[in-house]
Structure 1
Amino acid sequence: MAAAILKYLAGNRVYVESAGVRPGEPDPFAIAVMEEIGIDMSRHVPVSIADLHDTSFDLIVTLAPEAHHAALDLAHAYAIDVEYWPTPDPTLSTGSREQILDAYRIVRDRLFAKIKQRFPVAGAPSV
């Protein structure tokens, strides 16, 4: 969700990639809550950090402890800054579909606010 939000706000003014500790399957809940704010993630294919072909990043933002440690290992060999933004894992949510979606919405909205604060982009769209 974070990469999709930054791409939405910055367009092609910033190079953004998304990767996790392990590759996975598209998350239908993430796709649904992003669609609610007009961001299409339906074609997103989760990849791992190890699967990235380009490591010429200036900054890596991590959202989970395991990802943070993996990013620090990668950054050690390159001149890359790493920031850790502790973020609840909405995939651990339980309850009804609506309760799970609410957990994803909370994460989405927090990420949106944090990204707008950290990466102010003139003329960026709002939601």
Structure 2
Amino acid sequence: MCAQNAVRSPMAEAMAKHFFGKSIYVQSAGARKGEVDGFTLTVLDEIGIDAHKHRPKSIDELEEWEGLNFDLIISLSPEAHHRALDLTRTVAAEVEYWPTADPTAVQGSREQMLEAYREVRDGLMRRITERLKP
């Protein structure tokens, strides 16, 4: 879960699905709903992960569509973390907070901006493969 389900959580969802397939159930959502970020898709494409079909959703939409039957909620932004903690009032899920920089805050050349997204991608990949390995 992140702020808008546009950058960090779609990256995490795509990588978890890529590395673990159907062995675990993964869905991402945002505290709010944004638009998919093009740089997110670009840096995932660089490592052979296609997330072009991702459609941002809020946690409220996810709850309405599927219910919230999760064992673990990983929050990646302060806003998402507060929302995840609120959910534990009605959902018996463990919550972990992985503070993750927002690469959209980086200004500069296209390459500098892409590098910020790559750093987020690579950091999430390390954490996901370590935390979720069978």
- Output the TM-score relative to the length of structure 1: 0.92
Deviating 4+ runs (over 3 angstroms): none
Query: Is 1:3 equivalent to 2:13 in the alignment?
Result: yes
Gaps of 5+ in 2: 1-10
In structure 2, the residue matched to 1:32 is 42
Distance in 1 between residues matched to 2:89 and 2:102, nearest whole Å: 26
Query: Is 1:114 equivalent to 2:124 in the alignment?
Result: no
Structure 1 residue 100, shift from structure 2 partner: 0.5
**Structure 1 counterpart of 2:128, one-letter code:** I
Question: What does 1:14-29 correspond to in 2, within 5 Å?
Answer: 14-29=24-39
Distance in 2 between residues matched to 1:18 and 1:120, nearest whole Å: 18
**Structure 1 counterpart of 2:37, one-letter code:** D
Corresponding residue to 1:90 among 86, 103, 117: 103
Secondary structure at 1:61 match in 2: strand
Distance in 2 between residues matched to 1:106 and 1:76, nearest whole Å: 34
Gaps of 5+ in 1: 122-127
Secondary structure at 1:76 match in 2: coil
Structure 1 residue 4, shift from structure 2 partner: 0.8
Structure 1 residue 74, shift from structure 2 partner: 1.0
Cα deviation, 1:44-98, whole Å, max 9, x if unaligned, reads: 1111111112200000000001000001111221211100001000111111111
**Structure 1 counterpart of 2:108, one-letter code:** G
Distance in 2 between residues matched to 1:19 and 1:57, nearest whole Å: 12
Structure 1 residue 34, shift from structure 2 partner: 0.2
In structure 1, the residue matched to 2:71 is 58
Cα deviation, 1:30-51, whole Å, max 9, x if unaligned, reads: 0000000000011111111111
User: How many residue pairs align between the two structures?
Assistant: 121
Corresponding residue to 2:94 among 41, 58, 81: 81
Distance in 2 between residues matched to 1:106 and 1:13, nearest whole Å: 27
- Output the TM-score relative to the length of structure 2: 0.88
